[in-house]
């Protein structure tokens, strides 16, 4: 058993006060530990919410959408793995960074937790200082991930080239590399008509020996994936295709 005496109270500089406080949700059933964590994270500039069992923790996470979650593996009512799974399955909660707390005896579970989508884990007993550092590092990683890269957007279609992600009205599209390049080309110049051969150069590569009909097939699939009524991609008779302007 870890005793409270092992826990350090590190000297930390509070975050700038003009910034919105990062919100942390701690889901952990050891009350003494949550008190120590709560104290330290508050001191480090966090707004802290504590839950002592899994299901309640999950609900709080779904309602509050915290910036980061510390999740104990062994929890009453609903265990940490189940909470993690539910969070990863939820559209609003799937991107919340999760740091899992595990005990030595649970090393196998620890690996499972990791593959299930926890972003990091710390084994008990741990030093609070280390935990604070790991949480900060986790947040930095997520911020880097979420920093707007090269983003192109039109009519609710959005392409993020850095994250290689395409969405329509917030719905993520599963695109092949060819479809991705095709969509990007159309999205860069809405309303402009592209010939099949221009689109082929962009999407498949210049000089590629493919039938022009190949582009029609890609456009057809892309249209289906995009959905929308009328179609986002318009056929320009005798020419090729363009992205609807309005």
* Smallest separation (angstroms) from Ca ion to the CB of 8: 21
* Smallest separation (angstroms) from Ca ion to the CB of 29: 5
Asked if 74 is part of the footprint of Ca ion (rule: CB under 5 A), the reply reads yes
Asked if 72 is part of the footprint of Ca ion (rule: CB under 5 A), the reply reads yes
Strand partners, 241: 194, 235
Q: Cβ closer to Ca ion: 120 or 231?
A: 120
Q: Cβ closer to Ca ion: 99 or 185?
A: 99
Q: Cβ closer to Ca ion: 69 or 74?
A: 74
Number of residues located near Ca ion, criterion CB under 5 A: 3
Q: Cβ closer to Ca ion: 29 or 47?
A: 29
Q: What distance in Å separates the CA atoms of residue 15 and residue 12, rounded to the nearest whole number? A: 9
Map the chain to HEC letters. Answer: CCCHHHCCCCCCCCCCCCCCCCEEEEECCCHHHHHHHHHHHHHCCCEEEEECCHHHHHHHHHHHCCCEEEEECCCCCCCHHHHHHHHHHCCCCCCCCEEEEEEHHHHHHHHHHHHCCCCEEEEECCCHHHHHHHHHHHHHHHHHHHCCCCEEEECCEEEECCCCEEEECCEECCCCHHHHHHHHHHHHCCCCCEEHHHHHHHHCCCCCCCCCHHHHHHHHHHHHHHCCCCCCEEEECCCEEEECCC
Site string for Ca ion, 11-50 (x = CB under 5 A): ------------------x---------------------
Asked if 109 is part of the footprint of Ca ion (rule: CB under 5 A), the reply reads no
Taking CB positions, which residue lies at the least distance from Ca ion? 74
Q: What distance in Å separates the CA atoms of residue 34 and residue 26, rounded to the nearest whole number? A: 7
* Smallest separation (angstroms) from Ca ion to the CB of 135: 18
Q: Which stretch binds Ca ion (CB under 5 A): 71-79, 106-114, 192-200, 218-226?
A: 71-79
* Smallest separation (angstroms) from Ca ion to the CB of 126: 13
Q: Cβ closer to Ca ion: 29 or 160?
A: 29
Residue 200 near residue 181 (C-beta atoms within 8 A):
no
* Smallest separation (angstroms) from Ca ion to the CB of 73: 7
CB atoms within 10 A of CB 212: 12
Q: Which stretch binds Ca ion (CB under 5 A): 18-26, 68-76, 112-120, 122-130?
A: 68-76
* Smallest separation (angstroms) from Ca ion to the CB of 79: 9
* Smallest separation (angstroms) from Ca ion to the CB of 55: 14
Residues in the site for Ca ion, rule: CB under 5 A? 29, 72, 74
């Amino acid at each position: 058993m870890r005793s409270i005496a092992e826990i350090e109270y590190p000297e930390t500089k509070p975050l700038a006060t003009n910034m919105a406080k990062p919100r942390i949700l701690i889901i952990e059933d050891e009350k003494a530990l949550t008190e120590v964590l709560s104290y330290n994270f508050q001191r480090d500039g966090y707004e802290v919410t504590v839950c002592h069992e899994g299901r309640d923790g999950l609900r709080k996470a779904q309602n509050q959408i915290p910036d980061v979650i510390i999740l104990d593996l062994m929890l009453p009512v609903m265990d940490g793995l189940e909470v993690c799974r539910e969070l990863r399955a939820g559209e609003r909660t799937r991107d919340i960074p999760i740091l899992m707390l595990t005990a030595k005896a649970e090393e196998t579970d620890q690996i499972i937790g990791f593959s299930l989508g926890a972003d990091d884990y710390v084994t008990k007993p741990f030093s609070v200082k280390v935990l604070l550092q790991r949480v900060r590092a986790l947040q930095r990683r997520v911020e880097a991930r979420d920093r707007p890269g090269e983003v192109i957007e039109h009519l609710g279609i959005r392409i993020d080239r850095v994250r290689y992600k395409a969405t329509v009205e917030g719905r993520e599209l599963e695109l092949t590399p060819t479809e991705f390049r095709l969509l990007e080309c159309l999205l860069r110049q809405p309303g402009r008509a592209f010939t099949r051969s221009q689109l082929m150069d962009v999407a498949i590569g210049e000089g590629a020996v493919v039938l022009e009909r190949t582009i029609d097939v890609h456009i057809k699939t892309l249209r289906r994936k995009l959905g929308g009524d009328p179609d986002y991609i318009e056929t320009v008779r005798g020419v090729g295709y363009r992205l609807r302007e309005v």
